[in-house]
């Protein structure tokens, strides 16, 4: 018999990057009494790993639960960045409705469209929350119109078009039915969630069914599957079948080890869970996203959409530079292999493949940010390795024609910079598809561009727009190959010999371009120490000292003025490296180097490639 759990609501909070999802969850936790009155609480408490805190972005979706009156509200905080879209697609299967958060100044942005489309496809109830209404430049009424237009563009039905709108300031801790109301709490949001988002339904007497939508990993208990109980009752120590909709051959008999439900920020052990409950299950080592836990006698898998395929790849390899092994704790191919395959436990959008060389692994992901977060995590854990330039993954159609991934790029730039941006993106095989004025003297440009055209572009974009531009992308699909493309118009300044950089040598080198190092740094032959102003590479001896004469003293060196070197971040380094270069990553340093360190062998290789 179909029953409804009126004491539960399951919601996901979805939005574009930086529109305030995680701050909103903070307020819901605080105002529902999850924290003690005297408890110190960090800002953006749901962004639990260091990189999320530093960059101010959510990378992994997180589960939490709050109580409002007699109703338990399970909340999933999702990432807003396109590179982590795989996370959003999965978790929407666990909920009955979404809270769409939109910035009252920026309005509906590309990622708003992406996450909203996913919610409408699953026929989820939508509640729109216009956030940051306390900003001076907020324009909430116009943003409401933008969202209604977006719903029409996405073919929303009449019921979906009739969704409720609330106005809020997550930072200020209030949500209101009307912009001019004066309440200072989140009560209207809690009440609208309970009234508008449907309660979960299912057949409590039927065989148990739990679709696993997220995998967590814990060193002590191993893999933890997170999903919603769709039917029946699931209990600790119960024997169930593990099946998968996309893999008919998968059929395993397993036992539920431990069962948890969410309370605030904690997982609480329970002995059983009924329909509508979001549970975490441990004790099943071979559990994967998309698996269904169900009855052994009547194993029925729940349909599940396939995870989007990766679009770019990079080679991760053992560091073999002259400075290898001095700064990292984990440096061997065994360490590297174990760590990369362990990442697959929690990141379903990632692929790791072994290559012909035992020291090199091909790692594929959804975008540069996706892979750079993995690199940064490994670096902080003490790994030392090298990575190649990101390259797109090509497909071939039935006529064996090369197909490449395409992106829709939405660019918001101040009017005076639009010409420079159009010129750059056109030179990278981009096609301008739309151009319209937006608020505040900005122009919105829409480009269809190959994914490889955006590799290494973001740094240039920030320079061209003086840091005022916003670039968002959305994967569009595969299209015929658009032809060859040159990534970089500048060459590299390469160290000629190994040693320690000297002021005199650097002074001569800085006339050729921008340096990445200062005096007293260890260098080796073939290491890239700067960017040449011209297109060709140039080799310079930065370890050269001045010959002393009777008339010149060594202290004359101090009169030489060096320009402050440009310290490259991980993202800037990944964007800068060319196809014949590698980035050496250690816990202490990032060094760019040529793949072939020996200058004679490098020249031979270059001549060979041009033949």
Order the strands of the 165-169 sheet from edge to edge: 62-68, 71-77, 8-15, 97-103, 125-131, 165-169, 174-176
3-class DSSP assignment, residue 375: helix
| Strand spans (E) along 483-611 | 492-495, 499-500, 513-515, 522-523, 527-532, 538-540, 581-585, 590-594
Cα end-to-end distance, the chain, whole Å? 74
Q: Are 543 and 552 in contact (CB under 8 A)?
A: no
Q: Are 540 and 509 in contact (CB under 8 A)?
A: yes
Q: Are 276 and 228 in contact (CB under 8 A)?
A: yes
pTM over 0.85: no
How much of the chain, in percent, has pLDDT values that exceed 90? Answer: 16
| Strand spans (E) along 106-235 | 125-131, 165-169, 174-176, 201-203, 209-218, 222-231, 234-235
Known binding-site residues for GTP equal 18-23
Phi, psi of 294, rounded to the nearest 5 degrees: -150, -175
Instruction: Check residue 28 and give its pLDDT.
Output: 80
Tokens 């692929």, located at residue: 351
Instruction: Check residue 47 and give its pLDDT.
Output: 38
Structure tokens at 30: 């605080």
Instruction: Check residue 335 and give its pLDDT.
Output: 93
Known binding-site residues equal 18-23
* Residues of the chain predicted below pLDDT 50: 35-61, 80-84
Ramachandran assignment for 208, one of left (phi > 0), alpha (psi -120 to 50 degrees), beta (any other): beta
Domains in the chain and their CATH numbers?
2-199 (3.40.50.300), 202-294 (2.40.30.10), 396-480 (3.30.70.240)
The mean predicted confidence, pLDDT, of the chain is 82
- CB-side exposure of 274: number of CA atoms within 13 Å? 13
3-class DSSP assignment, residue 221: coil
Rounded-to-integer distance, Cα 112 and Cα 123, Å: 16
Instruction: Check residue 21 and give its pLDDT.
Output: 66
Tokens 């320690």, located at residue: 500
């Amino acid at each position: 018999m179909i029953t409804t759990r009126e004491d539960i609501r399951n919601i996901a909070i979805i939005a574009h990057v930086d529109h305030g999802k995680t701050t909103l969850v903070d307020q819901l936790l605080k105002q529902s009494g999850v924290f003690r009155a005297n408890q110190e609480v960090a800002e953006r408490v749901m962004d639990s790993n260091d990189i999320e805190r530093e960059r101010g972005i959510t990378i992994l979706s997180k589960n939490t639960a709050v109580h409002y009156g007699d109703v338990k509200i399970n909340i999933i905080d999702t990432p807003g960045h396109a590179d982590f879209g795989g996370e959003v697609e999965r978790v929407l299967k666990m909920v009955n409705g979404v809270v769409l958060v939109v910035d009252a100044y920026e309005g509906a942005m590309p990622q708003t469209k992406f996450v909203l489309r996913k919610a409408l496809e699953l026929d989820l109830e939508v509640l729109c929350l216009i956030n940051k209404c306390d900003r001076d430049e907020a324009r909430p009424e116009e943003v409401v119109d933008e969202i209604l237009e977006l719903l029409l563009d996405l073919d929303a039905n009449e019921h979906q078009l009739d969704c409720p709108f609330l106005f809020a300031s997550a930072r200020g801790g209030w949500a209101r039915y009307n912009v001019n109301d004066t309440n200072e709490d989140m009560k209207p949001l809690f009440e609208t969630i309970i009234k508008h988002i449907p309660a979960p339904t299912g057949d409590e007497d039927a065989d148990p069914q739990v679709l696993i939508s997220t995998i967590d990993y814990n060193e002590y208990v191993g893999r933890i599957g997170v999903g919603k109980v769709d039917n029946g009752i699931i209990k600790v120590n119960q024997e169930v079948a593990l099946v998968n909709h996309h893999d008919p051959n998968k059929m395993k008999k397993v036992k539920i080890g431990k069962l948890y439900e969410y309370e605030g920020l904690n997982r609480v052990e329970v002995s059983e869970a009924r329909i509508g409950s979001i549970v975490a299950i441990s004790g099943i080592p071979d559990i994967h996203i998309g698996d269904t836990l169900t009855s052994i006698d009547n194993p029925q898998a729940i349909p599940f959409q396939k995870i989007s395929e990766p679009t770019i790849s990079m080679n991760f390899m053992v560091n073999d530079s002259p400075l290898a092994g001095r700064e990292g704790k984990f440096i061997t191919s065994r360490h590297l292999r174990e760590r990369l395959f362990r990442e697959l436990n929690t990141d379903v959008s990632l692929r790791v493949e072994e290559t012909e060389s035992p020291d090199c692994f091909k790692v594929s992901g959804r975008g540069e940010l996706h892979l750079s977060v993995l690199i940064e995590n490994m670096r902080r854990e003490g790994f030392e390795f090298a990575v190649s330039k990101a390259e797109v993954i090509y497909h071939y159609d039935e006529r064996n024609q090369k197909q490449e991934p395409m992106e829709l790029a939405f660019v918001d730039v101040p009017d005076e910079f639009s010409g420079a941006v159009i010129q750059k993106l056109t030179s990278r095989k981009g096609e301008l598809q739309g151009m319209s004025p937006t608020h505040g003297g900005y122009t919105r440009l829409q480009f269809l561009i190959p994914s490889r055209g955006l590799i290494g572009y973001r740094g240039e974009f920030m320079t061209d727009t003086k840091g005022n531009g916003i670039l968002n992308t959305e994967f569009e699909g595969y299209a015929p190959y658009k032809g060859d493309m040159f990534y970089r118009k500048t060459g590299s300044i390469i160290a000629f010999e190994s040693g320690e950089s000297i002021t005199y040598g650097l002074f001569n080198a800085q006339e050729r371009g921008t340096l990445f190092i200062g005096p007293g740094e260890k260098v080796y032959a073939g290491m890239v120490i700067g960017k040449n102003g011209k297109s060709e590479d140039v080799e310079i001896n930065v370890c050269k000292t001045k010959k002393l004469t009777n008339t010149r003293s060594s202290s004359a060196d101090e009169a030489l003025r060096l320009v402050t070197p440009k310290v490259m971040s991980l993202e800037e380094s990944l964007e800068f490296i060319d196809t014949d270069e590698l980035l050496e990553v250690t816990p202490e340093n990032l060094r760019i180097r040529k793949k072939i360190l020996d200058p004679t062998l490098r020249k031979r290789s270059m001549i060979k490639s041009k033949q």
